[in-house]
Structure 1
């Protein structure tokens, strides 16, 4: 069964380029391309879409607002495709339901792998973007939301730290010499304690609370 995708970008060159690239992979079906967030929300409400690839800066409705509505009103999983100059949108997009945050200059294989990973229930944020978030937060004098370390076990804190460094569950399991299933159980525990929804939000939560 193919993964259904829509491409959302106000730049027609990027829309068509991504469509051509994704269409070369047998596992994807590009249902349509649209030019703004409002069109994306409307399309996802009317059609079964697995993944919405969203630009950030678009007319009528940007990718952050669209991610929020798509997450709240449909089963579609939003992935943001951005450029380096969109720093101010990163945290907002993740808080509003984006399951992935990637740079547009990625190799096609990286975009393909990210789509498949998000489709399979994971969240993706590139290490370079995490570093940008960490750098931005480090410029602040104090954490916005200090973490109550008493809420978490030592192992949970270790796992949050590794997630914030961009480690996958597999990489965490190798680093800590525990099974991937055990890692997943710890992540579920962290999500329950924090009220967060996915691992990317854990990374942001940890960075915002730990970076001084």
Structure 2
């Protein structure tokens, strides 16, 4: 069972998300939060697999909450967005969010997104990720974790790992990377994990930002 924590300041949205997720059968909503501070506190207490995190909330916003949840290893964070593509969303990515979810998503897309993130695959909606990465490439913010890498890549990154990093920069999922490189998904997951470790980043989306900033896409 995938344990999910909902963080959004609108009770109606939380109710709608809870109702949609209840149809999945393998997803359980274990808690809710109306602000970032409560989201972090509940993540510590409940240890969910995934936090659905709105970025705009009163008090502690979703960016700050995402950074705390990721830094403490409490859960993977899936950002809730209305597709504004503003500085809040960019900040959440650099804070370690695993991916995106549009609030207008269909029920099946919502369920699939939660399952993907719980499985370690942060590419939720590739077209969204690619658009955000394009925005970031146009106006990079070097204040986040990915910025510490700069334009250089680790010397111990293998050619195959570089290929995987380039694919991450294009917003590809594990399945798409596996098909492109003609390897298994299990092998792809291993390569992605090694790339993240060598780059010193918390999520595949952060790795994608590094890929863009390094100019290997």
Q: Shorter-chain TM-score category? A: 0.7 to 0.9
Structure 1 segment 44-63 matched on structure 2, within 5 A: 44-63=43-62
Among residues 147, 162, 178, which one is paired with 1:157 in the alignment? 162
Q: Which 5+ residue runs of structure 2 have no aligned equivalent?
A: none
1:33-72 superposed Cα distances (whole Å, 9 cap, x missing partner): 3211111112222223222111100001111111112223
Post-superposition offset of 1:74: 5.2
Which segment is superposed worse, 156-165 or 58-67? 156-165
Shift of 1:9: 0.9
TM-score (norm: length of structure 2): 0.83
Counterpart contact for 1:137–1:211, Cα < 8 Å:
no
Find 1:184's aligned residue among 186, 189, 206.
189
Q: Is the 8 Å Cα contact of residues 97 and 203 (structure 2) preserved in structure 1? A: no
Please name the residue that 1:111 is paired with.
110
Stretches of 4+ moved more than 3 A in 1?
Answer: 137-141, 147-154
**Residue in 2 aligned with 1:16?**
15
| Contact kept? 2:123, 2:173, Cα under 8 Å | no
1-structure distance, mates of 2:78, 2:113: 9
Q: Distance in 1 between matches of 2:68 and 2:40?
A: 7
2:176 is matched with 171
Partner of 2:200: 195
Q: TM-score, normalised by structure 1?
A: 0.85
Q: 1:137 to 1:51 in 2, by over 3 A?
A: closer
Structure 1: which 5+ residue stretches go unaligned? none
RMSD over aligned CA atoms reads 2.6
Aligned length: 210
Task: Decide which structure has the larger Cα Rg and report it.
Answer: 1
Question: Which stretch of the first structure deviates more once superposed, 37-46 or 130-139?
Answer: 130-139
Asked if 1:66 is matched to 2:71, the reply is no
Q: Kindly report which structure 2 residues correspond to 1:68-87, keeping only aligned pairs within 5 A, or say none.
A: 68-73=67-72, 75-87=74-86
Evaluate the alpha carbon distance shift between residue 176 and residue 48 of structure 1 in structure 2; reply closer, same or farther with a 3 A threshold: closer
